[in-house]
């Protein structure tokens, strides 16, 4: 019997794997913006680019690699001209991390607000096209309370 664990230490059951144009620069950005720690980096063929890397933000590991146009199924947001996934980042201080991300080069999409679902929530786009929801949980609400909050929020947005 092997002592190898089917899920390696530090990993969750599901681990995001981001495809990025200039993964090396992205790793440096994530260090400044979110306090990421680089765990591992494997260069691409001939030492060019990043074939595979792992960073850790808080208790979460994220895998990433460079966009490789020859591999159509793995495209970066810059090649897609958009992103197909957003990343949610729970933190002790949403406002502080939001400002840290902006200072590191992220673009504000939604400034932090007290959201109807009970989180302090703000959203940024990183310089590589990925969207990050930055959150601090403030209230435990029932599904009914969230639905009421959503109805009020959307009626205020539509001016009704």
Q: Name the CATH topology of 80-160.
A: 3.30.720
Query: What is the reported pTM?
Result: 0.88
pLDDT digits (tens, 9 = 90+) for 32-83: 999 999 999 999 888 889 999 999 999 999 999 999 888 777 889 998 999 8
Q: Name the CATH topology of 1-68.
A: 3.30.720
Half-sphere exposure of 77 (CA within 13 A, CB side): 18
Average pLDDT over residues 145-156: 92
| Residue 160: pLDDT over 70 | no
Handedness of CA 43, 97, 118, 147 (dihedral sign): negative
> Whole-number mean pLDDT of the chain?
93
Q: What are the start-end ranges of the E strands in 68-150?
A: 86-90, 107-114, 119-125, 131-137
Question: Looking at residue 1, what is its pLDDT?
Answer: 60
Whose structure tokens read 């994220």?
62
pLDDT digits (tens, 9 = 90+) for 122-147: 999 999 999 999 999 999 999 999 99
Render 24-62 in DSSP notation, one character per residue.
HHHHHHHHHHH--EEEEEEE-GGG-SEEEEEEEETTEEE
Q: Where in the chain is the domain with CATH 3.30.720.120?
A: 1-68
Q: Which is it for strands 131-137 and 119-125: parallel, antiparallel or unpaired? A: antiparallel
Q: Where in the chain is the domain with CATH 3.30.720.110?
A: 80-160
């Amino acid at each position: 019997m092997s002592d190898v664990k089917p899920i390696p230490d530090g990993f969750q059951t599901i681990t995001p794997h981001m495809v990025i144009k200039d993964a090396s620069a992205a790793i440096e950005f994530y260090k400044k913006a979110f306090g990421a720690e680089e765990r591992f980096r494997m260069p691409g063929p001939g030492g060019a680019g990043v074939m595979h890397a792992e960073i850790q933000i808080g208790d979460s590991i994220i895998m990433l690699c460079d966009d490789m146009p020859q591999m159509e199924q793995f495209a970066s947001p810059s090649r897609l001209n958009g992103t197909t996934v957003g990343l949610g980042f729970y933190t002790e201080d949403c406002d502080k991390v939001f400002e840290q991300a902006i200072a590191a080069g992220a673009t504000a999409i939604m400034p932090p607000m007290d959201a109807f679902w009970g989180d302090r929530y703000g959203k940024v786009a990183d310089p590589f096209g990925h969207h990050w929801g930055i959150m601090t949980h403030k209230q435990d609400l029932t599904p009914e309370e969230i639905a009421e909050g959503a109805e009020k929020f959307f009626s205020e947005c539509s001016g009704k």
